[in-house]
Amino acid sequence: MTLWPVFGRNRPEGKVLETVGVFEALKQHGKYETGQLFLHSVFGYRGIVLFPWHARIYDRDVIPPIKPEPPGSHGSKEVKGKTHTYYQVLIDTRDCPHISQRSQTEAVTFLANHDDSRALYAIPGLDYVSHEDILPYNSTVQVPIQHELFERFLMFNPDKTTPAPPFSARDTLKAWQEKNHPWLELSDVHRETTENIRVTVIPFYMGMRDTQNSHVYWWRYCIRLENMGSEVVQLRERHWRIFSLSGTLETVRGRGVVGREPVLSKEQPAFQYSSHVSLQAPSGHMWGTFRIERTDGSHFDVRIPPFSLESNKDDKAPPAGYTF
């Protein structure tokens, strides 16, 4: 089956569709290999697999409640995790403008290596993609993905004797993965659905910084909202509760998320974004709700599944940048 880039119901005005590859069969068992080209099944961008992660999904939808939780409870972590494969991928930069209404252009953020404990830097166009979101395809083009790291990380090395992708990892990719493993690693995924709105949260520990005789611990969290129903809804407000091991409990309320109030419809059912949180303690918890508005003006609250903030990595400093 011939593949064209898919960015939504309508293609950009004045643009002509061009063939970019041919779809391959989905992998029902096993995992995709380094160098696998794919189309994201939800956001429609082209990408390429760098390497897999084996995460634990804590899905509160598949665990029947034992007893009602008291008002204000943020739940507990008795939900059993199930192993699932995610992939670290590069996003084709040509596709980023077309997905901006449905997702931030994902980036992996790191702590900057200088005295400002709040300074961050990002490597744009890196994402974490679940196995079921991969639509694999192949292409005869030697540089099928446009990203500044593509040719630094991957080489065109076709082997017609095997069905493996024609792109293999350079030593720079292997070294980068090893060096940055503690700050890239995806380990826990949390998911919960309320009234057909599914919220998925993936937290990442970013490291610790010393500031004014205290330690500041940083995490990034990626959130995806998906409308599993047919009703058009819009995210209006967020309400967070952030508990620190130091004993503090912080409440954060605000309009929308990352300056947006995304609409979730049948045509564009998902929105994804990342944000950051810091604590003056090595661990904590976050939970909360999103206020969602229906087209008739009525509202309902969608639970954000509770998740732990853990700094269970070693105390060495995060990398000062990405070098090759």
Tell me the torsion sign for CA atoms 168, 82, 179, 149: positive
Please tell me the distance from the alpha carbon of residue 165 to that of residue 140, in angstroms, as a whole number: 11
Please tell me the distance from the alpha carbon of residue 264 to that of residue 313, in angstroms, as a whole number: 36
Half-sphere exposure of 197 (CA within 13 A, CB side): 28
pTM for the structure as a whole:
0.85
Residue pair 49/169 in contact (Cβ under 8 Å)? The answer is no
pLDDT tens track for 165-178: 899 999 999 999 99
The first and second tokens of residue 41, run together, are 């099944």
pLDDT tens track for 235-291: 999 999 999 999 999 999 999 999 999 999 999 999 999 999 999 999 999 999 999
Segment holding 264, helix H or strand E: strand 263-264
**Burial grade of 145 (CB within 10 A; 0-12, 13-18, 19 or more):** buried
Per-residue pLDDT of the chain (324 residues; tens, 9 = 90+): 555 554 444 455 556 667 888 999 999 989 999 999 999 999 999 999 999 999 999 999 985 555 555 555 555 546 788 999 999 999 999 998 888 767 766 677 877 665 554 567 788 899 999 999 999 999 988 999 999 999 999 999 877 667 778 999 999 999 999 988 888 899 899 999 999 999 999 999 998 888 778 889 999 999 999 999 999 999 999 999 999 999 999 999 999 999 999 999 999 999 999 999 999 999 999 999 999 999 999 999 999 999 999 996 555 555 544 444
Please tell me the distance from the alpha carbon of residue 180 to that of residue 94, in angstroms, as a whole number: 26
Half-sphere exposure of 299 (CA within 13 A, CB side): 9
- Domains, in order of start, for the chain: 22-310 (2.60.40.1470)
